[in-house]
């Protein structure tokens, strides 16, 4: 029998998300969280961590293409790439579409996320078998703190700013990202929705814009996420996300369903209230 999966957002404010599902394929309690895989009527398979949707088969490409393809089509030579989080393999899949990537490190805290993806999301987890890939199972904040002048691109594909991901949203972490990057490096971090999380966004912008010479925010439309929008902080030592976009490179990436050059540019255009809030921070 079908059932409704409900993700509580802010029940005291009357916000919740419900998706009708046909069956529960898995429920695993790892040392860090409860991982579920659901089969839904509309969204296909859904990956859930502690009752929060991480991805759905129907719209995961919107998120994964935008978190990865935007910086990959700005940096001309992303040879060494680090992904923090992203244990489902979707962001890694996008990174590996670029032949100039020589090594891709993925640092995921919870090894069970990778194992679940291997079993239930083969189109994402196939990326783990690429010879350019090395997997690390440890805390991402501690991992990047040990690196210096090493990566061309760091993508932080994190869950929401709650334990254990809370450390990925503070100033110290962004300082470590800066140190771990090469002189022309770029970091992109999952930074929630400007609709429901504007205070968090402005908090990140207040310190990230002082750590990185170039800071901006962009977003993707992902219907299964709260508000249907998820945003990203673009943090760069040199390169501007629009002025330095490599047009020809962006037009030649294979297998894309959401990202294109026009979406790349449009994603940085925010509503007036968000522009105003960021303007008070960025000047």
Q: Which residues are catalytic?
A: 157
Residue 121 has which token pair?
A: 């999301």
* Number of CB atoms found within 10 A of residue 51's CB: 12
* Number of CB atoms found within 10 A of residue 207's CB: 17
Beta strands in 79-179 (DSSP E): 80-85, 103-107, 133-136, 151-157
> Which residue's entry shows tokens 């594909």?
157
Q: Is the torsion defined by CA of 129, 77, 136, 7 positive or negative?
A: negative
**Three-point CA angle 226, 158, 281, nearest 5°:** 75
Burial class for 118, CB neighbours closer than 10 Å (0-12, 13-18, 19+): middle
Provide the Cα torsion 28, 32, 34, 36; round to 10°.
Answer: -70
Q: Can you tell me the distance from the alpha carbon of 237 to that of 128, in angstroms, rounded to the nearest whole number?
A: 29
């Amino acid at each position: 029998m079908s059932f409704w999966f409900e993700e509580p957002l802010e029940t005291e404010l009357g916000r919740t998300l419900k998706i009708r599902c046909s069956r529960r394929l898995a429920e695993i309690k790892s040392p860090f969280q409860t991982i579920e895989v659901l089969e839904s009527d509309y969204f296909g398979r859904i990956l859930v961590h502690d009752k929060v949707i991480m991805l759905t088969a129907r719209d995961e490409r919107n998120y994964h293409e935008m978190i990865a393809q935007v910086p990959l089509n700005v940096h001309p030579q992303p040879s060494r790439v680090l992904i923090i989080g992203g244990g489902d393999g979707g962001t890694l899949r996008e990174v590996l579409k670029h032949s100039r990537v020589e090594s891709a490190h993925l640092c995921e805290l919870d090894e069970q996320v990778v194992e679940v993806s291997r079993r239930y999301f083969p189109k994402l987890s196939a990326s783990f078998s690429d010879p350019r890939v090395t997997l690390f199972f440890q805390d991402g904040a501690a991992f990047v703190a040990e690196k210096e002048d090493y990566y061309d691109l760091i993508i932080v594909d994190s869950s929401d700013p709650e334990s254990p991901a809370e450390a990925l949203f503070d100033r110290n972490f962004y300082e470590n990202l800066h140190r771990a990057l090469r002189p022309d490096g770029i970091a992109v971090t999952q930074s929630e929705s400007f609709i429901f999380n504007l205070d968090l966004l402005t908090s990140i912008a207040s310190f990230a814009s002082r750590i990185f010479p170039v800071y901006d925010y962009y977003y993707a439309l992902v219907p299964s996420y709260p508000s249907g929008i998820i945003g990203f902080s673009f943090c760069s030592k040199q390169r501007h996300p629009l002025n330095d976009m490599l047009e020809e490179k962006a037009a030649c990436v294979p297998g894309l369903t959401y990202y294109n050059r026009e979406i790349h540019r449009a994603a940085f255009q925010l509503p007036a209230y968000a522009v105003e809030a960021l303007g008070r921070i960025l000047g």
